[in-house]
Amino acid sequence: MEIKNKKLAALWQFIKFGLVGAFNTVLNYIIYNFCYYVFNSGVHIANITGFVITVFSAFLLQNRFVFKQDENSEKRVWWKVLIKTYISYSFTGLFLTELLLMLWINVIDLGQYLGGVCEWLAGFGINFEPQDLAASLAPILNMVVTIPLNFIINKFWAYRQKKPEAGNGK
């Protein structure tokens, strides 16, 4: 029974992580596109702006709903968890996504493959230049890589709590 409960708890934790992630993904995507189209910031500034805002949101939501404090373990220090959260997401949310953005936009030149899609969308009154559509699709492609990595890094590093040592009286 214990194993079944642990598996269900782990599954429920992953689902909650996914829900928090979905919220932050939508928020990041809105911020990214707002910066790109309204402020004409370019993909990299838009990516960094969305990153800073949504990692803080992820920290607040994950701390409250996903990786709850285990009362039988060492108490987490909130600012250390916040720093670890930014570090972990810096790897996936900045470093890796920046590399992937360069791959999609500069190396593969995703826009060159989207002319037909842009023409199809124009039939519905939605007008995109291929490069702009590529800039809007690239973050979605990035998520296939970054979401599983984010869960693993956060679960086993940023929000990990140490169990008290035996004989320590805790």
Q: What is the pLDDT of residues 74-104, one digit of tens each?
A: 888 889 999 999 998 888 877 898 899 999 9
Q: Token pair 């968890």 is at which residue?
A: 81
Q: What mean pLDDT do residues 127-135 have?
A: 93
pLDDT at residue 170, as a whole number = 47
pLDDT at residue 167, as a whole number = 55
Distance CA 165, CA 170 (A): 8
| Residue-wise pLDDT tens digits, 3-12 | 678 888 888 9
The DSSP code for 168 is S
Q: Determine contact, residues 101/138, Cβ cutoff 8 Å.
A: yes
**Length of the chain in terms of residues written:** 170
The answer to whether the pTM exceeds 0.85 is no
Q: Is the pLDDT of residue 1 over 60?
A: no
Distance CA 44, CA 163 (A): 40
Of 42-51, 53-62, 113-122, 140-149, least confident by mean pLDDT is: 140-149
pLDDT at residue 94, as a whole number = 77
Q: What mean pLDDT do residues 149-161 have?
A: 84
pLDDT at residue 45, as a whole number = 93
